[in-house]
Structure 1
């Protein structure tokens, strides 16, 4: 194997943008056959050093199984991944197999950059995945991606801090938003300001969608149009301001200092806050980053009028193939291997989220430490609580998190009211979706 560096773009691009009209694939060959000769394909992913090494080991297993196929690894961290992928895609040089995120799946699929996986179902069989997880890889009814797994949102609780400061944790099976805020304020006061009770939401689309669903709403409809009521978004930001004003949360200045910091430098890991909103699949990463603390996971607090089924399964990440691949059969074979060979599960563990394939879960569970077992147990409990998976983030909305963060900063610093920011955010995002369509 050797590291493959994509060719330069045919035009300047930014992450997830300007993909159309520059080297995208033609109609796929239906049921292509594997080659008897030597074939080279590329595989692209993001991640830290541990993921890089695990994935390279998986590639080596695949190459041992299929010695005529050479897989060239292409990898980077998240921050540069999407700009580089957009550049290579615009140049007609998209890697044969890529790791994908829900933020970008529709934008690439609708521009014709991804392979219709039904065209290779003679080789790729993702049927081990439950339908509610597998269907999250569909855009417009067509399967373009195979999810690695899925996670709900949750509240990470540093129980060590609650014990240290003598604060009783409410019953998390029945807690309300008032209970949640009151407990957080008690931590702040009991610690003398050394720690705060929680890190609030405000800038993440996963958090926002769960909040919207608590209020009987959602971000997008089935047609890919904005469906969010501006009053619901304004309430999201007002709740954040209320948590800050009550001193349940750090100050605006303190929160702003932590925007964009790595997980291991965030307040939830350093012990500066006792609770926060996280994708539940990241529980093991938090516990591993802070071995001196004990953490629990809990469902979100609710109120009497909270809608049922507000939690949902968000795909951790996906495997997709390029529509421009010269070797669709071999690309499909690699995805099938990554999705179904339990030796991959042994290597990956929970690194790419809690496995969607039940056979992977059976292999992984006996190898887990206490944090891993707690993460899986939470997921199994939440499986009884989740509602229908919401529509995928549409083409034109890939920058939703960056946009949310910008308007959230305006709200925090008093440059816009929650109501003004909600109207402006939705107008800007709606224009972006319209332009992409």
Structure 2
């Protein structure tokens, strides 16, 4: 995820990112962790993507970790989202990945296939890492083909962020189980009565399309490829393009002019689909009141939602698997670390950390309540592990949907182009 979730994530991180040098972070050097020192102290390398605020929080948690484990030192490195994966690709190809690093589901099979990821089950069995106490089985996000390739640090799910004032003025109250027909009627009413577009461009959000497919018995990805065909995508993109031309969706040229600000926050749209923990950006960027609404459904029941997660993975080449496991365990279970990180990487994944952090700002409270309500509604399913190449497919979907929305390519041609490029990426 994303004004497509993927665009949003990358834009936020690029806009707010800072270099390690600016923050005085230690440079990442060496192969694997540093060699053991004479006094038994070892050093592990930890890399992640994010912004300056995340870096500050993570450095505070590392200080706590090093106090608790004085024989383990942590060297850190961070980039924005795009630069992180470019650097990681180079490090992995050179046999020099960091010992422990932030990861996401789209990359698990890709780097497991290349022998980069450590199966953490051995460290779990050794008692260095615990899978106890994860909320709603979110630890399963990191499980692929019987391996534990990542440990979630937070959870999030797709949501609909709305301009509450606009929806109230139009007399629209989204409720759990509302349908796509009801959602589109709401957008048209907003367009006709409030004179603004209803949505920023739902048809370009890959993870939203995944939910729609899941509502209809399919999924964006299967374990080894795509779970839908050209007719499915043609229907989705043609419907979106028609609504765009009718003025119900924000003009993509306007969205480009506004970036990195969201068209929802600028008042040029009344709703936007994105990950729930991204909701904090709208109150920062805009001057209205924003709320989280349920995902529309096909049958009035199932939303297709699941919990996704940022996670921590380890290098199969690390010389210090025990220390890496202890570091991950601390990051996902320690209550004091939770108080520092808050919901920066999503709703805290374990019960110890979730209970330890008590959000005081209205947005964080609403994000936590949204996930609790979604879980209580019984609509959450299991995420489908992405095949190798999924990250390239995600970027392809985003790029081609954007070109299609701007009229650079016809829907039929866009669909054919997507399937051609996606199949090539998945076969690589």
For 2:264, what is the secondary structure of its paired residue?
helix
Check the 8 A contact 1:126/1:339 in 2, yes or no: no
Q: CA RMSD in A?
A: 2.6
Aligned to 1:269: 265
Change (3 A) 1:132 1:238: farther
Equivalent positions of 1:389-400 (< 5 A) are 389-400=382-393
Structure 2 residue matching 1:374: 3-state secondary structure: helix
2:151 aligned residue? 146
Please name the residue that 2:227 is paired with. 227
The offset of 1:251, in angstroms, is 2.1
Q: Note if 1:313 corresponds to 2:307.
A: yes
Structure 1's unaligned 5+ residue stretches are: 8-22, 26-34
Counterpart of 1:86 in structure 2 is 89
1:340 and 2:333 matched: yes
Separation (CA, whole Å) in 1 of partners of 2:25 and 2:407: 51
- Aligned partner of 1:369 in structure 2 is 361
Q: Structure 2: 5+ residue runs without aligned partners?
A: 1-23
Contact 2:49–2:80 (8 Å) recurs in 1:
yes
For 1:403 and 1:276, the matched residues in 2 are separated by 21
Give the SS at the match of 1:270.
coil
Residue aligning to 1:20: none
Corresponding residue for 1:11?
A: none
Deviation at 1:63, TM superposition (A): 0.6
Match of 2:280 among 272, 284, 289: 284
Q: Which moved more, 1:129-138 or 1:140-149?
A: 129-138
Q: Distance in 2 between matches of 1:227 and 1:184?
A: 29
Q: Does 2:4 match 1:3? A: no
Cα distance, 1:24 vs. partner?
A: 10
TM-score under structure 2 normalisation? 0.86
Q: Shift in Å at residue 139 of structure 1?
A: 2.0
Compute the displacement of 1:320 (Å).
0.7
Q: Is 1:406 aligned to residue 409 of structure 2?
A: no
SS at match of 2:243: helix
Q: Answer whether contact 1:40 1:71 (CA < 8 A) is retained.
A: yes
Q: Take 2:186 and 2:147, find their aligned partners in 1: how far apart are those partners? A: 46
Give secondary structure in 1 for the equivalent of 2:388: coil
**Aligned equivalents of 1:36, 1:131: Cα separation in 2:** 42
Match of 1:215 in 2: 216
Runs of 4+ aligned residues of structure 1 deviating over 4 Å after TM superposition are none
Q: 2:41 aligns with which of 38, 42, 48?
A: 38
TM-score, normalised by the number of residues in structure 1 = 0.85
- 8 Å contact kept, 2:393–2:425: no
Residue of structure 2 equivalent to 1:157: 162
**Matched ranges for 1:118-157 at <5 A:** 118-121=121-124, 122=126, 123-130=128-135, 132-157=137-162
Between the two proteins, the alignment pairs up a number of residues equal to: 400
More displaced stretch, 389-398 vs 113-122: 389-398
Larger helix fraction of residues: 2
